[in-house]
Amino acid sequence: MNSKNILLLEDQLTTQEWIASILQEVFPHHTIFKSSSAEQARQLIDCNVFSIAIIKTRLVDDAGISLLKAIKTINPASVCVVSSETSQDQQIFSALQSGADGYIINDGSRINFQNSLQHIHNSEPALSASVVLSMMHYIQQLRPAVEIKKLTPRQSQILALIAQGQANKQIAIELDLSIYTIMDHIKRLYEKLNISSRAQAAIKAHQLGLIK
């Protein structure tokens, strides 16, 4: 990530300070910009480039979705993560389908929150363990008809590896391909499946039955 800025959008000041302190521990060389409303956050986005954004789930309404898109437009490599105190299936999928790269449940555990954020360092989706379970449960219920024939065998293979949490470099080593070839495959499968993040890719992999 080129930018060393983090946007934290949280309307409860006590929680905001708590998350900010964890972010400072996990990303000691980053500058944290705190905001308590979507309006404040928009002003910060207009003046800064963010590599990471943590947004409270109840603020991911139309204004929140607009913020996600604005951050991604300015810096496509930015990681936008939703923070929530609950793990409702529909809420999780709504956030991920809106472009969020991760979803962290704030259960009051400092260690759990830290561990979820650590995934960002490894280019993995920042997902709490309970969120992964909710995703699996939700997908098993829906099982939408997605056509796997859209993808080549290689693209299906790469999609499965992304869902397993492997970074591009790891995938390149495992398949004995250059990282540029892997990135090209990922770009094309993202276009075919109409997705824009690794979290959405993981969901699609489950829908396609590539991950059991």
* Alpha carbon 103 to its chain's center: 7
Determine the Cα–Cα distance for residues 117 and 120; give it in Å rounded to an integer: 6
For 157-179, write each residue's pLDDT tens digit. 999 999 888 999 999 999 999 99
- pLDDT at position 205 is 85
What CATH code is assigned to 5-139?
3.40.50.2300
Single-letter amino acid code for the residue at 119? H
Task: Answer with the residue of higher pLDDT: 31 or 92.
Answer: 31
- pLDDT at position 145 is 47
Question: Side-chain half-sphere of 140: how many Cα atoms within 13 Å?
Answer: 8
- pLDDT at position 144 is 47
pTM, two decimal places: 0.62
Determine the Cα–Cα distance for residues 112 and 26; give it in Å rounded to an integer: 12
Report the b/e string of 29-45 with b at 16+ CB within 10 A.
Answer: ebebbbbbebeebeebb
Three-state SS string across 120-144, please?
A: HHCCCCCECHHHHHHHHHHHHHHCC
- pLDDT at position 149 is 64
For 86-139, write each residue's pLDDT tens digit. 766 677 777 777 778 888 888 889 998 998 888 887 777 787 777 777 766 666
Domains 5-139 and 143-207 share a fold: no
**54 confidence band (pLDDT: 50, 70, 90):** very high
Residue 59 above 70 pLDDT? no
Determine the Cα–Cα distance for residues 51 and 74; give it in Å rounded to an integer: 10
Highest mean pLDDT among 37-46, 60-69, 90-99: 37-46
- pLDDT at position 7 is 95
Residues 143-207, CATH architecture: Orthogonal Bundle (1.10)
Provide the mean pLDDT of the chain.
84
Question: Side-chain half-sphere of 86: how many Cα atoms within 13 Å?
Answer: 7
- pLDDT at position 21 is 96
- Residue 46 burial (10 A CB sphere; 0-12, 13-18, 19+): exposed
Determine the Cα–Cα distance for residues 102 and 122; give it in Å rounded to an integer: 13
Domain ranges of the chain: 5-139, 143-207
Percentage of residues of the chain with pLDDT beyond 90: 35
Tokens read off for 35 = 């905001």
- In the block, residue with structure tokens 């959008």: 9
- Residue 149 burial (10 A CB sphere; 0-12, 13-18, 19+): exposed
